[in-house]
């Protein structure tokens, strides 16, 4: 479990469990969904603006979602997980290392060309990049865990002979993605999803 994220916020928990979001009055799940809509629209998440948009007090919003950094971590992860799950479903005709490589390559390509991600990093600058790459933050450890679960599923099914533990491979995949997508935060360097995919393929070579 990611330190500091053992207990989900009320908004995240209700949104992820499919709680009703459309009511005459704002709900925690609805507040979380509205934050995700801000991200998808390339709009900066401002707690004052979001609370006013929902017609609730800022204190209520904080009680539902946690502070702004927590909401950003939860919302960006929810968006990323949605994309990752879509890539996983789309790869159902593949198996083993081919499926793992395909999902990772497609996810990185989608991330590299995502206007919402670019807008998020423009709005948040260094703090946004730190939020996505922090070792003990609310985004990176969740992504590593998701990839590790995908790898373990293929191993347990006898479809992949992994050269290392799923967690180590997953961490390596995320590190490679960060290297070729963010280039240590240099805005002048274009994301290179193709090189990331090739490097991941080398990492995942079967034992």
pLDDT band at 8 (very low <50, low <70, confident <90, very high): confident
pLDDT at 17: 81
**Could you tell me if 173 and 203 are in contact, meaning their C-beta atoms sit under 8 angstroms apart?**
yes
pLDDT by residue (tens digit) across 128-176?
A: 999 999 999 999 999 999 999 999 999 999 999 999 999 999 999 999 9
Cβ of 29: how many Cβ atoms within 10 Å? 23
pLDDT band at 1 (very low <50, low <70, confident <90, very high): low
pLDDT at 20: 60
DSSP the chain: --TT-SS--HHHHHHHTT-----SS--HHHHHHHHHHHHHTT----HHHHHHHHTS-HHHHHHHH-SHHHHHHHHHHHHHHHHHHHHHHHTTT--HHHHHHHHHHHHHHHHHT-HHHHHHHHHHHHHHHHHHH-TTSSSHHHHHHHHHHHHHHHHHTT----SS-HHHHHHHHHHHHHHHHHGGG-TTSPP-HHHHHHHHHHHT---
pLDDT at 73: 96
pLDDT at 157: 97
Mean pLDDT of the chain: 92
Domain ranges of the chain: 10-68, 69-203
**What are 154's two structure tokens?**
């293929």
Model confidence at 117: pLDDT above 80:
yes
Half-sphere exposure of 206 (CA within 13 A, CB side): 10
Distance from the Cα of residue 106 to its chain's centroid: 14
Among 14-23, 87-96, 113-122, 179-188, the range of highest mean pLDDT: 87-96
pLDDT by residue (tens digit) across 46-65?
A: 999 999 999 999 999 999 99
In this structure, which topology does domain 69-203 adopt according to CATH?
A: Tetracycline Repressor; domain 2 (1.10.357)
d(CA 113, CA 108): 9
Stated pTM of the model = 0.87
Mean pLDDT of the region 79-100? 97
């Amino acid at each position: 479990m990611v330190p500091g994220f053992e207990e989900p916020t009320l908004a995240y928990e209700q949104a992820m469990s499919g709680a009703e979001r459309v009511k005459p009055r704002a709900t925690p799940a609805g507040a979380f969904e509205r934050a995700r809509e801000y991200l998808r629209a390339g709009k900066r998440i401002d707690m004052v603006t979001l609370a006013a948009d929902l017609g609730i007090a800022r204190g209520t919003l904080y009680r539902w979602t946690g502070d702004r950094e927590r909401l950003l971590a939860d919302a960006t992860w929810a968006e990323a997980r949605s994309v990752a799950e879509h890539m996983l479903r789309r790869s159902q005709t593949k198996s083993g290392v081919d499926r793992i490589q395909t999902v990772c390559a497609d996810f990185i390509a989608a991330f590299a060309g995502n206007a919402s991600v670019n807008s998020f990093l423009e709005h948040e600058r260094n703090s946004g990049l730190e939020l996505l790459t922090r070792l003990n933050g609310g985004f990176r450890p969740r992504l590593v865990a998701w990839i590790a679960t995908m790898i373990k599923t293929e191993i347990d099914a006898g479809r992949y002979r992994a050269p290392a533990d799923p967690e180590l491979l997953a961490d390596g995949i995320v590190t490679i993605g960060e290297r070729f997508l963010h280039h240590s935060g240099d805005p002048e360097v274009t994301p290179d999803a193709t090189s990331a995919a090739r490097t991941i393929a080398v990492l995942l070579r079967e034992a």
